[in-house]
Amino acid sequence: MSLNTLHVNVTPAYPIHIGPGLLRDESLLAPHLTGQVCAIVSNTTVAPLYLDTLRSTLEKLEKRVLPIVIPDGESFKTRSTFDHIHDVLLEARADRKTTLIALGGGVVGDLTGYAAATYLRGISLIQVPTTLLSQVDSSVGGKTGINHPLGKNMIGAFHQPQVVLIDTDTLSTLPSREYLAGLAEVIKYGLIRDIPFLEWIETHLEELLQRHPDELSHAILTSCRNKAEIVAVDPLEKSGVRALLNLGHTFGHAIETGMGYGVWLHGEAVAAGTILAAELSHRLGYLSNHDVDRIVTLFQRCSLPTRAPDLGLERWLSLMMGDKKNESGKLRLVLFEHMGQAKLTELSSQASLSRVLSPQTGRFIDA
């Protein structure tokens, strides 16, 4: 498996490097380090595994490394943890040429990105994602932020990285549950815009489940290519094109918030949410029942949830109305136009949605 490189064509453009052993390759980092200090933000799970390796690579470039280790888990994606990163930077007198490096999964990436966007009104950021979900989704595109008790990712900023360094070797230590959750975001790209990729996933899923290097590299590369193309068209989520990446996320974020951050992994909630989006699309006449069954079967093969918790209809609707895609008090969801094509849809009536979310009438809600 060799090095693959994509470019995200925003202003300024930046590369995504994908391959094994990249944490040890100083040539991929050197062009993106402007100052002498590099602050590495990681968590208590990832830091013991990979922090020393990345530190050694940076020290070969004669950089001073400032480690910032935070607790692991979605429940720590908070203002308090965000402030802690700033505290360490301020105490170390980090300047505008300091580079912040996110070494970890989506929580680390989002927190570090938001800290980089706001420290001294913006410093350089490098994303080094170590989970499948962060490698194929959250590390690319510049979305950063923290959670609020009333909603997931409701506070943040757009701040593009200088480079995304995806070392596929880090997936060898990823727990099975987190790996499977990452597959939900891989599948998403096939569902929203890339039917040939969806068919490839269905054919090669057993190899992906066993983490075969060639198939895994292809899945990451294709996912990142799809994400990069969408981000280039709509970098700040203004036109609605980028919102298509949120298939299943309105339902999924409601699950994560309603159940308590960290109870469901993000990818697990997205899987259940995607199935709810598919079922609603079916009820509105966009998908066939066969299409819904095909989506359910694929998530079942990944051992991902296919039924959502019963939050209660009033709670469901309250949480979903807080979604960032909504405008003028109207609920907007990413639904299917047809298999392999998603669209942002403003619901004129909540009747079909209510039936999907009720345990009495919705076949994908736990009674």
pLDDT at 329: 76
The CATH number of residue 257's host domain is 1.20.1090.10
> CA–CA separation, 234 vs 8, rounded Å?
12
Whether the predicted model's global pTM rises above the 0.85 cut: yes
Tally of CB atoms within 10 A around 297: 11
Task: Tell me, yes or no, whether 288 and 336 share the same domain.
Answer: yes
Same domain, 188 and 310: yes
Any domain includes 325:
yes
Q: Are 36 and 58 in contact (CB under 8 A)?
A: no
- Asked whether residue 38 is domain-assigned, the answer is yes
Looking at the chain, the whole-number percentage of residues with pLDDT higher than 90 is 93
Task: Give the residue numbers spanning the domain of 23.
Answer: 4-173
Tell me the pLDDT tens digit for each residue of 75-134.
999 999 999 999 999 999 999 999 999 999 999 999 999 999 999 999 999 999 999 999
Do 133 and 209 fall into the same domain?
no
pLDDT of res. 327: 75
Domain termination residue (choose one: 148, 173, 198): 173
pLDDT at 323: 78
Q: Classify the phi-psi angles of 160: left when phi > 0, otherwise alpha if psi is within -120 to 50, otherwise beta.
A: beta
Enter the DSSP assignment of 220: H
> Do 122 and 262 have their domain in common?
no
Residues of the chain with pLDDT under 50: none
- Indicate if 242 and 146 belong to the same structural domain: no
Domain at 80, CATH number: 3.40.50.1970
Per-residue pLDDT tens for 160-192? 999 999 999 999 999 999 999 999 999 999 999
Residue 312 falls inside a structural domain: yes
Q: Among residues 125, 154, 173, which one ends one of the domains? A: 173
* pLDDT the model gives residue 1: 63
- The catalytic residue positions are 121, 143, 185, 227, 237, 242, 246, 249, 253, 266
What was the pLDDT predicted at 325?
Answer: 81
The reply to whether 189 and 328 lie within a common domain is: yes
363 part of a folded domain: no
Do 166 and 183 sit in the same domain of this protein? Answer: no
Number of domains in the chain: 2
Residues 229 and 274 in one domain: yes
Q: Could you tell me if residue 367 is inside a domain?
A: no
Q: Are residues 85 and 163 in the same domain?
A: yes
Examine the domain organization and report whether 32 and 157 are in the same domain: yes
Helices (H), 170-288: 176-193, 195-209, 213-233, 249-259, 266-283
What pLDDT was estimated at residue 171?
A: 97
| 127 and 150, same domain (yes or no) | yes
Nearest CA among 124, 112, 120 for reference residue 156: 112
Residue 19 lies in a domain: yes
Domain annotation covers residue 365: no
Tell me, yes or no, whether 218 and 348 share the same domain. yes
